[in-house]
């Protein structure tokens, strides 16, 4: 082999090695970040995806396309409703009854005390009740290292005074990132609270059009499906949610999703906590 040929081979090998090396570093960083954010989003205990039955999920316009409706899969999904009970909670319960599905309600302490019959109805229908605190204000809820725990304890007492049962599942206002500190989280963990965030935001607090909201939700579910994540959808007990809910449920049912109430033993979806 001539020196020239040797040089060409060496240079080629060097370039290939360098490419593989840099790619692995970039990919590694990406995967590490993804793992941190999403490591807790897979509910292995109940994740029953039938991958081979799905070709694609797509929504191409404001309405749901046929291809989105024809799927035959079985996989879990969690619907969650925050900030209630409100004047719309009973409508939501009626819709859930109509479709014979269960969900989870993260309630605010004062709303619990003002609407005891609704709280009781949620319990009797076997939906899960979680606590969402008292003040729902960032400046108060996250004020000290123990304020989140104090608010959840107050909320728990309120629910328990009506249902007779303790509440161990919680969602902190506005989600755990970026407000909840590690020490606040540690106190909640010590008290055996199981904290849930979400990975699908219905945006029902900002979108006032039920068609837009439906499209947004189903788009997000589609993205999670491609990444094999169990969807946890954030809703609020609001009028637009009541309007959009039947269409969303029908679409998800037709896709084969199984609607589950959150169970204490389920692996929670949590955002990454700041330190």
CB atoms within 10 A of CB 114: 12
Which C-beta is closer to Zn ion: that of 71 or that of 140? 140
259 membership: H or E segment, kind and range = strand 257-259
**Beta strand extents in 61-219 (DSSP E only):** 75-84, 104-107, 128-131, 169-170, 194-195, 200-201
Q: How far is the CB of 260 from Zn ion (least distance, A)?
A: 21
Q: How far is the CB of 182 from Zn ion (least distance, A)?
A: 22
- Cα dihedral angle (199, 138, 206, 261), rounded to 10 degrees? 40
Q: How far is the CB of 166 from Zn ion (least distance, A)?
A: 21
Which C-beta is closer to Zn ion: that of 46 or that of 135? 135
Stretch that binds Zn ion, among 81-89, 191-199, 207-215, 266-274 (CB under 5 A): 81-89
Q: How far is the CB of 162 from Zn ion (least distance, A)?
A: 20
Taking the C-alpha atoms of residue 63 and residue 200, their distance in angstroms, rounded to an integer, is 19
Taking the C-alpha atoms of residue 143 and residue 187, their distance in angstroms, rounded to an integer, is 14
By CB under 5 A, the residues from 117 to 176 that bind Zn ion are 173
Q: How far is the CB of 241 from Zn ion (least distance, A)?
A: 13
Q: How far is the CB of 26 from Zn ion (least distance, A)?
A: 37
Stretch that binds Zn ion, among 79-87, 177-185, 211-219, 247-255 (CB under 5 A): 79-87
Which C-beta is closer to Zn ion: that of 76 or that of 173? 173
Does 197 interact with Zn ion (rule: CB under 5 A)?
Answer: no
Q: How far is the CB of 143 from Zn ion (least distance, A)?
A: 17
Residues 71/57, Cβ–Cβ less than 8 Å? yes
Which C-beta is closer to Zn ion: that of 130 or that of 173? 173
Which C-beta is closer to Zn ion: that of 205 or that of 259? 205
Stretch that binds Zn ion, among 76-84, 141-149, 195-203, 246-254 (CB under 5 A): 76-84
Name the nearest CA neighbour of 162 among 234, 236, 105: 105
Q: Which of 75, 76, 82, 271 binds Zn ion (CB under 5 A)?
A: 82
> Which of 16-53 are b and which e, b meaning 16 or more Cβ less than 10 Å from the residue's Cβ?
eeeeeeeeeeeeeeeeeeeeeebebbebeeeeeeeeee
Q: Which of 57, 59, 64, 83 binds Zn ion (CB under 5 A)?
A: 83
Which C-beta is closer to Zn ion: that of 225 or that of 236? 236
Taking the C-alpha atoms of residue 175 and residue 199, their distance in angstroms, rounded to an integer, is 10
- Cα dihedral angle (106, 107, 109, 114), rounded to 10 degrees? -170
Which C-beta is closer to Zn ion: that of 101 or that of 170? 170
Binding residues for Zn ion, rule: CB under 5 A, are 82-83, 173
């Amino acid at each position: 082999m001539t020196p020239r040929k040797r040089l060409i081979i060496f240079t080629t090998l060097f370039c290939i090695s360098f490419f593989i090396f840099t790619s692995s570093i970039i990919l590694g960083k990406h995967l590490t970040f993804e793992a941190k954010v999403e490591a807790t989003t897979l509910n292995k205990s109940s994740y029953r995806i039938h991958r081979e039955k799905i070709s694609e999920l797509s929504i191409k316009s404001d309405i749901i396309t046929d291809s989105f409706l024809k799927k035959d899969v079985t996989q879990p999904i969690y619907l969650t409703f925050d900030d209630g009970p409100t004047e719309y909670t009973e409508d939501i319960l009626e819709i859930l009854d109509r479709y014979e599905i269960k969900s989870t309600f993260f309630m605010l302490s004062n709303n619990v005390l003002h609407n005891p019959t609704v709280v009781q109805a949620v319990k009797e229908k076997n939906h899960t009740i979680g606590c969402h605190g008292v003040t729902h204000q960032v400046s108060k809820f996250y004020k000290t290292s123990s304020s989140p725990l104090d608010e959840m304890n107050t909320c728990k007492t309120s629910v328990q005074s009506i249902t007779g049962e303790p509440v161990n599942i919680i969602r902190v206002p506005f989600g755990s990132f970026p407000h909840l500190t590690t020490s606040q989280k540690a106190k909640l963990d010590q008290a055996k609270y199981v904290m849930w965030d979400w990975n699908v935001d219905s945006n029902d607090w900002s979108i006032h059009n039920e068609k837009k909201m439906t499209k947004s939700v189903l788009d997000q579910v589609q993205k999670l499906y491609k990444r094999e994540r169990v969807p946890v959808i954030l809703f609020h007990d609001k009028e637009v949610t009541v309007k959009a809910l039947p269409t969303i449920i029908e679409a998800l049912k037709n896709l084969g999703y199984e609607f589950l109430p959150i169970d204490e033993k389920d692996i929670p979806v949590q955002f990454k906590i700041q330190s």
